Chain A
Amino acid sequence: MANLQKIYSDIDFTFTKKPVTADVALSYDQQAVTRSIRNLLLTNHYERPFNPDLGAGVGALLFEPMNSLTSSQLESTIHTAITNYEPRAILKSVVVSPLLDKNSYGVTITFFLQNATQATTISVILERNR
């Protein structure tokens, strides 16, 4: 990203400190939005106080039979969550592909940041671990 002016700034989820100022580390723009989307996807409904709708609820879908129906349901769930709760991202595509031999889903989310010309792509593997 070439823009010098940072539009978005958030506390870093890792809560590490900046080496120089010893203040809490911040994340900006693309990184901030990417982490926010990740956070949204990993949040289940009723998890945040007084905001039961927030979250994607992907956890429950990972325990459904692994097939194209579930993966398209995952797609739409992720799509809805980002559209509703992450206005900073202009969503271009959400692709969920079942990785049958790994018993997990590959998720690729492509979005534009407001005011940015270059698309950002997040690729994550969703795997149930219990």
Chain B
Amino acid sequence: MAGANSNIQITDLDFNSIKNNLKTFLKSQDTLKDYNYEGSALSVLLDILAYNTQYQAFYTNMAANEMFLDSAIQRSSVVSLAKSLGYTPKSVIAPTATVNIVVNGVNASTPQLVLPSHTQLMSEAINGVNYTFVTTDTMFADTNFATSTATFPNVQIKQGIPASSSILVNNAVNPTSLIEINNSNIDTTTLQVTVQQSSSNSDYQIFNLADSYLTLDGNSKVYFLQEGIDGNYQIYFGDGVLGQQLSDGNIVTVNYISSSGIAAAGANNFVIMNPINGYSNITVSPVVAASQGAAKETIDSIKFHAPKAFAAQKRAVSKEDYINAIQNNNLGYNFDAVNVWGGQENNPPVYGQVMISVKPTGAYTLTQNQKNLLAKDVIEPISMVTVVPTFVDPDYTYLQLTTNVWYDPKKTNLTPNQLQTSIKNAIASYAATSLNTFNSYFSLTDFNKVVSNVNQSIVSNEMEVKIQKKIYPNLGAPTTYNLEFGVPLAKGFFQSSVTSSPAIQYRDATITSSVIDGVFIEEVPSSTGGVDSISVLNPGFNYIAAPTITIKGDGTGATAYAVLSGTNTIKQIVVTNPGTGYTSAIAVVTPAPGDSTGQAGAVQVNLQGRYGTLRAYYNNTSSVKTTLNNNVGTIDYQSGVITLNSFSPIAVDTPLGQLTVTATPTTTLLSSNYNKIITVDPFDSSAIIVNVYAKT
């Protein structure tokens, strides 16, 4: 039997390859020759052997794959591997809203009203579904007898339906009192676990989630949380060494909210379902719309976060530690993006602080309360005592993209409108995935590629990029706003490169009772500027007296003088009059009369142009552009900062009071760092404009 093919290849996992390997092996002998004929008994045997080999190979391969976090596919395997890294997968997170609840017509007999926890409210329809929200805490409100009302301010409500389960502790059967919560929609951040003494003794104690094992002892009233094999969450209790062990006869009750997750995000209007203390004339007014909801953590997310959480070891030292700790907070907050940097990177540097910028899911910024809770409950317990967390709100730069597309109508059956819509959707979807986070970048080339790949009929396209800042001005109170665009801005020569929208209202400076509507802000057109500074290229030598500086160029009126150093060289040039109308200029250094030794001094003229001015204007009754204020602010073209000085409109002509300032960048490669986020506003219909033209 020995021969060239007497070794069987064992690396293949495919049925046909395995069978072929067996045939190759059989070729080395001549006792059995019929291995190639499908009807032969040998072929039947080979089929069985190959099938069995493949079955075993698959099984071994799968079992080995499931043993490692990187290759595991089954959720139960991934969860189990994450468990050994000390990571519990995140559950469904209920969206949270804040409302004010006012009870009307309260009579003198009820001086105080109680709003119990889990009081139900019904939301407005979101995508055709009304969701149930519940209050999270019990609240009390004193009656205001003057108005016969009682107000519960800033009531936090979460989407979901209260649910509970309980067991009777029996240590012989279930020594860790493990309770499996058979509800895949549980929001584990809302878990409330109480242990009642017994059926005859109603004393109870509240148990909390164990998060640090260093501080636990046999009396710690904690429970542990894990995800079970079938995807349900399980809670269990200590063994008397790590956490208190429960006694036979104790009754464990678990209360939680069963939520639909992110589906209810955006709900802002609610009605209360039941009377409060018998009063049913109740007004619920929105404060913060429902946000922060999330679906149950996916397998991919667990694979991503578990090793990182393990690497951080519940300590915040590096930037990634902070990001992980914030992303995996146990407050139920959900974030689209988190960025962290040391205060020493700020300009000017702030030492001893860590700067944190967070983009919450479904909102633009965190509320102050959320920031406080994150700092106190999430960061401070694990960060170094000398490092102070400081929250910086994300600074959004919005893009306004205008695309002109030429297409060949013979190569598509789409109507111009359909083509326009699909291009718009492609841009919006690419923007949503590639931008809208920290440390991202906008590349015009990439966007152009996206547009040209939308349809084969597109022949050519060009995109114009403008960048916007959106502010909510303090109405009537002069305030200075610094809008940092983060990129150099283009200067407008024939028309303003800076615009504002919508119209704002200003009080007339002379007749203060009259209001001027239809006011906009624009750049003051300046064709050319004067001399900004003169820098010394070569200080020269042997100057006895300061040489004369003569500025020559296409403008007029610029003058300057030189200052000598102690060593008879030119120290600096002082510009006394910048002059006007220069587009190019040189400065000539002439030794002072009588100075025969001074020589070789050379200087360079820097023209003005770094700064521009903003003005406010309106169109008067005969539609003539009239300047209201010639200097409402400045533009620093180089660093891309627009400053509105003592800006005090009395109204912005939009319901939200939001003012958009649009500028033109000099570059089409924009990047974001620190707390900057570049995004395309999905709620702004003019953010993406697509014009399609048929090629003729």
Find chain B residues with CB under 8 A from A7 CB. Answer: 33
Question: In the docked arrangement, what's the CA distance between A37 and B39, Å?
Answer: 6
Decide: B38 and A10 in contact? CB cutoff 8 A: no
On whether A32 and B44 interact (CB within 8 A), knowing A49-B15, A49-B51, the answer reads no
Chain B residue at smallest Cβ distance from A6:
B33
Give the contacting residue for B34; candidates A10, A40, A43, A51; CB below 8 A: A10
Q: Mark A9-50, 1 if CB is under 8 A from B, else 0.
A: 111110000000000001000001001110110010000111
Assess whether A10 is in contact with B32, with CB atoms less than 8 Å apart. Answer: yes
Question: Closest approach, in angstroms, between the C-beta of B12 and any C-beta of chain A?
Answer: 13
Interface string of B37-49 (1 = CB under 8 A from A): 1111110110100
Residues of A within 8 A of B51 (CB): 49-50
Given A10-B42, A26-B31, A50-B15 in contact, is the A88-B37 Cβ separation under 8 Å?
yes
Q: Is B39 a contact of A40 with CB atoms below 8 Å? A: yes
Cβ of A49 and Cβ of B41 under 8 Å apart?
A: no
**Interface size class of chain B, counting residues whose CB lies under 8 Å from the partner chain:** 10 to 19
B45 touches A11 (CB 8 A): yes
A35 to B34 CA separation, bound complex (whole angstroms)? 12
User: Is the Cβ of B47 less than 8 Å from the Cβ of A10?
Assistant: no
| CB-based contact B41/A40 at 8 Å | no
User: Which residue of chain A is the closest to B16 with respect to CB atoms?
Assistant: A50
Interface pair A39/B33, CB less than 8 Å apart: no
Question: A113: which B residues are within 8 A, CB to CB?
Answer: none
* A77 to B: closest C-beta gap in Å: 15
Bound-complex Cα distance A32 to B45 (A) = 15
Are the CB atoms of A86 and B32 closer together than 8 Å? Answer: no
A66 within 8 A of B: no
Q: How far is the CA of A119 from the CA of B446 in the complex (A)?
A: 74
Q: Report yes or no: B39 in contact with A39, Cβ–Cβ below 8 A.
A: yes
Q: Which of B16, B33, B39, B45 lies in contact with A86, CB distance below 8 A?
A: B39
Report Cα–Cα, A107/B170, bound state, in Å: 73
Smallest Cβ-Cβ distance to A82: which chain B residue = B39
Chain A CB count within 10 A is highest, among B34, B39, B42, B51, for: B39
Contact in complex: B40, A10 (CB < 8 Å): yes
Distance in angstroms from B330 CB to nearest chain A CB is: 51
Contact of A32 among B16, B31, B34, B47 (CB under 8 A): B34
Q: Which residues of A have CB within 8 Å of B38?
A: 40, 48, 51, 54, 85-86
Chain B positions 10 through 40: 1 when the CB is less than 8 Å from some CB of chain A, otherwise 0: 0000011000000000000001111001111
**In the docked arrangement, what's the CA distance between A12 and B42, Å?**
9
Question: Which of B15, B31, B34, B50 lies in contact with A36, CB distance below 8 A?
Answer: B34
Contacting residues, chain A, for B50 (C-beta < 8 A): 49
CB distance from A116 to the nearest CB of B (A): 16
A35 to B40, CA, bound (A): 8
- Which residues of A are found within 8 Å of B40, using beta-carbon distances? 10-11, 32, 36, 39
Taking a contact as CB atoms under 8 Å apart, the answer to whether A36 and B47 are in contact is no
Contacting pair A39 B15 (CB below 8 A): no
Q: Is A10's CB under 8 angstroms from B41's CB?
A: yes
Tell me the minimal C-beta distance from A69 to chain B in angstroms.
27
Chain B residues within 8 Å of A50, by CB: 15-16, 47, 51
| Chain B 608-621 near chain A by CB (<8 Å), digits 1 or 0 | 00000000000000
The CA of A120 and the CA of B31, in the complex, are separated in Å by 24
Chain A residues contacting B42 (CB-CB under 8 Å) are 10-11
* CB <8 Å contact, A26 and B44: no
> Which residues of B lie under 8 Å from residue A12 when comparing CB positions?
41
* Alpha-carbon distance between A49 and B41 when the two chains are bound, in angstroms: 15
B32 contacts across to A, CB distance below 8 A: 9-11, 26
**Min CB distance, B268 to chain A, in Å?**
59
List residues of chain B with CB within 8 A of the CB of A10. Answer: 32-34, 37, 40-42
Report how far A13 CA is from B44 CA in the complex, Å: 10
B319 to chain A: closest CB distance in Å? 53
With a cutoff of 8 Å between Cβ atoms, the chain B residues found around residue A63 in the complex are none
- Chain A 46-62 near chain B by CB (<8 Å), digits 1 or 0: 00111100100000000
1/0 contact string of A84-98 vs chain B (CB within 8 Å) = 011110000000000
In the complex, what residue of chain A is closest to B52 when comparing beta carbons? A49
The reply to whether B41 and A11 form a contact with Cβ atoms under 8 Å apart is: yes
A-B pairs, top 7 by smallest CB distance, nearest first, are: A36-B39, A10-B34, A40-B39, A49-B51, A85-B38, A11-B41, A50-B15
Name 11 A/B residue pairs within 8 A (Cβ), A-sorted: A9-B33, A12-B41, A13-B41, A32-B40, A36-B40, A39-B41, A40-B38, A48-B47, A49-B15, A87-B37, A88-B37
Residues of A within 8 A of B (CB): 7-13, 26, 32, 35-37, 39-40, 43, 48-51, 54, 85-88
Known pairs A10-B40, A36-B34 / 15 extra A-B pairs, C-beta < 8 Å: A8-B33, A11-B32, A11-B45, A26-B31, A26-B32, A36-B41, A39-B40, A39-B41, A40-B38, A43-B39, A48-B44, A49-B51, A50-B47, A51-B38, A54-B38
